[in-house]
């Protein structure tokens, strides 16, 4: 799809005025309309200790891939996600064979082509050798005053204009060049070392044209266009990272793209950073005859293994040990392993993708949800049931809980086991993410409250109507999924067995504890799911026996 190139409030706007100097006339700098400050001069020393020594990752005579950029490549001074934002450079190494090439992220938040070239580039250049590669993605910060404040603006365009300035706060004199000239200087320096430069366009922002739901790509009228023009004249590769990721964002839709960013519309969350890293790898792989692609890992099929009958949909069951357990002999069983018994399996198949001990969050963190997501096809169904493991410790111990509720709240935690920062959302947020992903693929999402436990209080079976049951229902209603109150349907059955005599009878439906079901209990829950489906207008009910 051809990008619409229109102006937007959060994008850079170009002043049409002119600054007059004693030497010449140059265009006014781009206005700093974003007002996002993620680096200051007094943090540069700290940044230097956080960023790698250039070339220090080199293994033997292997090449190094150097990443040069700003906060979209390395967010903040430390780049460790402690503010919930991540740059794509942090994850870029995952796409390369590190036994043959190493990746060094030398980007720094807040830098422009001008400030990076003047302050950081000399140290990076020292580590570059013949045969190395350098990806340059700069431009987000080439705005604001030429001679005051952060004094980081480059002259718009790719011409030969220059401007002598004196920084008001320090009295330092400096020559300012065009954005294109700084790019040419990076390129010349890299080539002089016998290495290979690559220019990339900026990453897209979370900005939309409401008329046709396309990403606003104003940067490709300015810095993206200028980088492309410079690359063409210098005969080096140009990869339109903006275009590649924007296409994905448009497929995701506005609601899903919201969580690709964190705190603002420029800086990505871990989700968005990983999308950009994947896009960068795709751009490298698909660029004709680009030898850097030879160092990429083979494309991995992340789809869950599913047996499909031609012309028949698949119903995926996703959840914890109450959905999938040992599922053999006289052991604990999950209802997902017997769910096929209540369906017409000549027309539909079941793929039980649940995993014991997982919460909604850890199921996502471990990549298990991604395997389902990649396997989905239009017309499939996904039954989602979490809640048993979603309370307790968030960043210590088992570290699998989410924030309570179903809202948009989130917090950054330092995880005890990994020593890394992670944004944790509410329980309902994770369910809403799953629902959005399913709908994006043209499949049908159905969420269920978690199975009841064999726990009674004064003759009444324990319910979850004020916690996970309520949050599950809220998430389903908000994201537009079907909701089945499995906890109520099965709980009512256990309640009807009668408390005094029922305690013994109910125990036959559980195995070893009050949570995990026997084969008999798994079949009861599977039947309850079928009953719940029949009470909805979900197309899956047409496959119930």
Stronger pLDDT, 40 or 202, i.e. the higher one:
202
195 pLDDT more than 50: yes
Residue 2 confidence class, pLDDT cut points 50, 70, 90? very low
286-290, 442-446, 459-463, range with the lowest pLDDT: 459-463
Contacts of 257 (CB under 8 A, 6+ apart): 206, 249
- Identify which of 302, 202, 211, 303 has the alpha carbon closest to the alpha carbon of residue 254: 211
225 pLDDT more than 50: yes
Residue 354's H or E segment, with its range, is none
What is the residue whose two structure tokens read 């009910």?
A: 541
What is the second-level CATH architecture of the domain 42-295? 3-Layer(aba) Sandwich (3.40)
128 pLDDT more than 90: yes
pLDDT in the model for residue 9: 31
Residue spans per domain, the chain = 42-295, 314-543
pLDDT in the model for residue 481: 98
Residue 257 confidence class, pLDDT cut points 50, 70, 90? very high
Whether 239 and 198 have beta carbons less than 8 Å apart is answered as yes
Percent of the chain with pLDDT strictly greater than 70:
91
191 pLDDT more than 70: yes
Burial label, 193 (beta-carbon count in 10 A; 0-12, 13-18, 19+): middle
511 pLDDT more than 70: yes
CA 339/CA 346 separation, integer angstroms: 14
Backbone phi and psi for residue 483, each to the nearest 5 degrees, phi listed first: -125, 130
Burial 4-36 (b: 16+ CB within 10 A, else e): eeeebebbbbbeeeebeeeeeebbbbbebebeb
Stronger pLDDT, 75 or 429, i.e. the higher one:
429
Backbone phi and psi for residue 119, each to the nearest 5 degrees, phi listed first: -105, -35
Mean pLDDT value of segment 144-159: 94
pLDDT in the model for residue 203: 96
- Identify which of 272, 360, 267 has the alpha carbon closest to the alpha carbon of residue 319: 360
The answer to whether the Cα torsion of 316, 321, 323, 326 is positive or negative is positive
Whether 154 and 178 have beta carbons less than 8 Å apart is answered as yes
- Identify which of 408, 400, 382 has the alpha carbon closest to the alpha carbon of residue 471: 408
Question: What's the N-to-C CA distance of the chain in angstroms?
Answer: 44
Burial label, 289 (beta-carbon count in 10 A; 0-12, 13-18, 19+): exposed
Residue 341: both structure tokens together:
């018994």
Mean pLDDT value of segment 227-246: 97
Query: How far lies 29's CA from each of 163, 220, 226, in Å?
Result: 11, 17, 15
The answer to whether the Cα torsion of 381, 387, 393, 398 is positive or negative is negative
Query: How far lies 347's CA from each of 94, 193, 304, 373, in Å?
Result: 40, 63, 20, 22
Whether 55 and 126 have beta carbons less than 8 Å apart is answered as yes
**DSSP labels for 179-221?**
HHHHHHHHHHHHHHTT-EEEEEPPPPPS-EETTTTEE--GGGT
Query: How far lies 206's CA from each of 37, 216, 531, in Å?
Result: 18, 8, 42
Residue 118: both structure tokens together:
């003047």
pLDDT in the model for residue 251: 92
Residue 79 confidence class, pLDDT cut points 50, 70, 90? confident
CA 398/CA 404 separation, integer angstroms: 17
Residue 43: both structure tokens together:
């943090």
Mean pLDDT value of segment 212-230: 85
pLDDT tens for 346-363 read 999 999 999 999 999 999
CA 541/CA 535 separation, integer angstroms: 9
Whether 545 and 348 have beta carbons less than 8 Å apart is answered as no
Mean pLDDT computed over every residue of the chain: 91
pLDDT tens for 372-423 read 999 999 999 999 999 999 999 999 999 999 999 999 999 999 999 999 999 9
pLDDT in the model for residue 28: 86
Question: HSE (CB half, 13 Å, CA atoms) of 392?
Answer: 15
pLDDT in the model for residue 188: 98
186 pLDDT more than 90: yes
Rounded to 10 deg, the angle between the 368-375 and 427-440 helix axes is 20
- Identify which of 307, 308, 285 has the alpha carbon closest to the alpha carbon of residue 295: 285
181 pLDDT more than 80: yes
CA 343/CA 307 separation, integer angstroms: 16
Note whether 42-295 and 314-543 share their fold: yes
The torsion defined by the Cα of 196, 80, 202 and 98, in degrees rounded to 10, comes to: 30
Task: Look at residue 414 and give its three-state secondary structure.
Answer: strand
pLDDT tens for 515-532 read 999 999 999 999 999 999
What is the residue whose two structure tokens read 């309902």?
A: 428
pLDDT in the model for residue 232: 98
Stronger pLDDT, 109 or 130, i.e. the higher one:
130
* Element counts in the chain: helices (H) and strands (E): 15, 20
pLDDT in the model for residue 504: 72
Residue 244: both structure tokens together:
């590649």
pLDDT tens for 333-346 read 999 999 999 999 99
- Identify which of 105, 100, 106 has the alpha carbon closest to the alpha carbon of residue 119: 106
Mean pLDDT value of segment 233-254: 96
Largest CA distance in the chain: 98
Burial 385-398 (b: 16+ CB within 10 A, else e): bbbbbbeeebbeee
pLDDT in the model for residue 423: 98
Residue 431 confidence class, pLDDT cut points 50, 70, 90? very high
pLDDT in the model for residue 15: 35
47-56, 240-249, 531-540, range with the lowest pLDDT: 47-56
What is the second-level CATH architecture of the domain 314-543? 3-Layer(aba) Sandwich (3.40)
Residue 502 confidence class, pLDDT cut points 50, 70, 90? low
Mean pLDDT value of segment 74-81: 84
Whether 287 and 293 have beta carbons less than 8 Å apart is answered as yes
pLDDT in the model for residue 46: 58
pLDDT in the model for residue 495: 92
20 pLDDT more than 80: no
214 pLDDT more than 90: no
Whether 383 and 446 have beta carbons less than 8 Å apart is answered as yes
Which one-letter DSSP state was computed for residue 36? Answer: -
Mean pLDDT value of segment 441-457: 96
38 pLDDT more than 50: no
pLDDT in the model for residue 31: 76
CA 140/CA 74 separation, integer angstroms: 12
């Amino acid at each position: 799809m051809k990008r619409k190139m229109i102006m937007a409030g959060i994008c850079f706007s170009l002043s049409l005025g002119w600054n007059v100097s004693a030497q010449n006339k140059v265009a006014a700098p781009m206005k700093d309309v974003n007002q996002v400050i993620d680096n200051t001069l007094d943090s540069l020393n700290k940044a230097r200790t956080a960023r790698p020594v250039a070339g220090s990752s080199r293994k033997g005579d292997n090449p190094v891939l150097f990443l040069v950029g700003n906060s979209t490549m390395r967010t903040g001074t430390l780049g460790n996600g402690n503010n919930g934002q991540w740059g794509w450079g942090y994850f870029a190494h995952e796409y390369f064979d590190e036994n043959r090439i190493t990746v060094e992220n030398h980007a720094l938040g807040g830098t422009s082509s001008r400030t990076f070239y003047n302050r950081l580039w000399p140290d990076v250049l020292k580590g570059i050798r013949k045969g190395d590669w350098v990806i340059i993605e700069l431009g987000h910060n080439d705005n604001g005053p030429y001679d005051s404040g952060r004094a980081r603006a480059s002259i718009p365009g790719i011409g030969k204009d220059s401007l002598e300035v004196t920084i008001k706060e320090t009295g330092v004199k400096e020559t300012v060049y065009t954005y294109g000239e700084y790019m040419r200087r990076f390129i010349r320096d890299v080539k002089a070392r016998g290495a290979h430069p690559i220019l990339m366009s900026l990453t897209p922002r979370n900005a939309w044209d409401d008329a046709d739901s396309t990403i606003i790509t104003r940067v490709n009228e300015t810095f993206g266009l200028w980088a492309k023009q410079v690359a063409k004249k210098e005969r080096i590769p140009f990869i339109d990272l903006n275009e590649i990721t924007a296409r994905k964002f448009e497929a995701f839709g506005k609601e899903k793209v919201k969580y690709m960013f964190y705190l603002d519309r420029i800086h990505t969350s871990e989700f968005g950073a990983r999308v950009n890293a994947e896009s960068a790898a795709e751009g490298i792989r698909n660029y004709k005859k680009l030898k850097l692609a030879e160092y990429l890992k083979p494309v991995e099929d992340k789809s869950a293994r599913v047996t499909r009958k031609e012309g028949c949909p698949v119903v995926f069951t996703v959840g914890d040990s109450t959905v999938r357990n040992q599922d053999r002999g006289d052991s604990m069983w999950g209802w997902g392993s017997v769910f096929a018994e209540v369906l017409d399996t000549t027309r539909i198949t079941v793929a039980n993708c649940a995993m014991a001990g997982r919460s909604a969050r850890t199921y996502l963190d471990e990549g298990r949800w991604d395997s389902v997501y990649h396997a989905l096809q239009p017309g499939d169904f996904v039954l989602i049931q979490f809640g048993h493991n979603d309370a307790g410790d968030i960043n210590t111990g088992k570290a699998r809980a989410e924030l309570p509720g179903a809202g948009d709240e989130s917090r950054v935690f330092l995880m005890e086991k990994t020593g890394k920062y992670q944004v944790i959302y509410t329980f309902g947020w994770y369910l809403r993410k799953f629902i959005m992903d399913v709908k994006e693929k043209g499949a049908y999402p159905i969420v269920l409250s978690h199975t009841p436990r064999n726990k009674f209080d004064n003759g009444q079976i324990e319910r979850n109507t004020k916690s996970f049951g309520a949050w599950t229902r809220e998430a389903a209603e908000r994201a537009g999924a079907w909701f089945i109150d499995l906890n109520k349907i099965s709980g009512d059955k256990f309640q009807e067995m009668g408390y005094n005599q029922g305690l013994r009878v109910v125990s036959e439906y559980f195995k070893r504890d009050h949570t995990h079901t026997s084969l008999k209990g798994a079949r009861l829950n599977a039947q309850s799911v079928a009953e719940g489906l029949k009470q909805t207008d979900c197309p899956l009910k047409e496959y119930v026996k």
